Chain A
Amino acid sequence: MAEAAESSGDPGTTSPRPLFAGLSDISISQDIPVEGEITIPMRSHIREFDSSTLNESVQNTIMRDLKAVGKKFMHVLYPRKSNTLLRDWDLWGPLILCVTLALMLQRSSIDSEKDGGPQFAEVFVIVWFGAVTITLNSKLLGGNISFFQSLCVLGYCILPLTVAMLVCRLVLLAEPGPINFVVRFFVVIVMFAWSIVASTAFLADSQPPNRKALAIYPVFLFYFVISWMILTFTP
Chain B
Amino acid sequence: MAAADELAFHEFEEASDLLAETPDAATTSGSNQLTPQGHVAVAVDSGGSYGAEEEVEESDRTALLQEEKQQPGFWTFGYYQSFFDVDTSQVLDRIRGSLLPRPGHNFVRHHLRNRPDLYGPFWICATLAFVLAVTGNLTLVLAQRRDPSIHYSPQFHKVTVAGVTIYCYVWLVPLALWAFLRWRKGVRERMGPYTFLETVCVYGYSLFVFIPTVVLWLIPVPWLQWLFGGLALALSAASLVFTLWPVVREDTRLVAAVLLSTVVLLHALLAVGCKPLPLAHPAPPTQAASLSPDLPPPPTSSAHTT
Contact = CB atoms under 8 A, between A and B. Distances in A.
Contacts of A114: 155, 157, 289
Contact of B153 (A116, A122, A212, A214): A116
B306 to A, nearest CB: 33
Interface string B78-89: 001101101111
B154 interface: yes
Q: Say what secondary structure dominates the interface of chain B.
A: helix
A142 interface: yes
Interface stretch (B123-131, B184-192, B266-274): B123-131
Q: Which of B81, B137, B157 has the most CB of A within 10 A?
A: B157
A83 interface: no
* Interface majority SS (helix, strand, loop, mixed), chain A: helix
B157 A140 contact: no
B91 A115 contact: no
Interface residues of B, number: 24
Given A142-B81, A218-B123, A228-B134, A234 B88 contact: no
Contact of A234 (B80, B152, B156, B289): B152
A210 B89 contact: yes
A214 B86 contact: yes
A232 B80 CA distance: 37
A213 B89 CA distance: 10
A interface, size bucket: 20 to 34
Interface in B66-114: 77, 80-81, 83-84, 86-89, 91
Interface string A69-80: 000000000000
Given A140-B80, A221-B126, A221-B130, A122 B88 contact: no
Contact of A115 (B83, B88, B153): B153
B9 to A, nearest CB: 43
Contact of B84 (A118, A141, A212, A224): A141
Interface of A: 111, 114-119, 122, 137, 139-142, 210-214, 217-218, 221, 224-225, 228-229, 232-234
Cβ-closest 10 pairs across A and B? A140-B84, A115-B153, A117-B154, A118-B156, A210-B87, A213-B88, A232-B154, A141-B84, A214-B88, A140-B81
Interface of B: 77, 80-81, 83-84, 86-89, 91, 119, 123, 126-127, 130, 134, 137, 152-157, 289
26 contacts: A114-B155, A114-B289, A115-B153, A116-B153, A116-B154, A116-B156, A117-B156, A137-B119, A137-B123, A139-B77, A140-B84, A141-B84, A141-B119, A210-B87, A212-B88, A214-B86, A214-B91, A214-B119, A217-B123, A218-B123, A218-B126, A224-B130, A229-B154, A229-B156, A234-B152, A234-B154
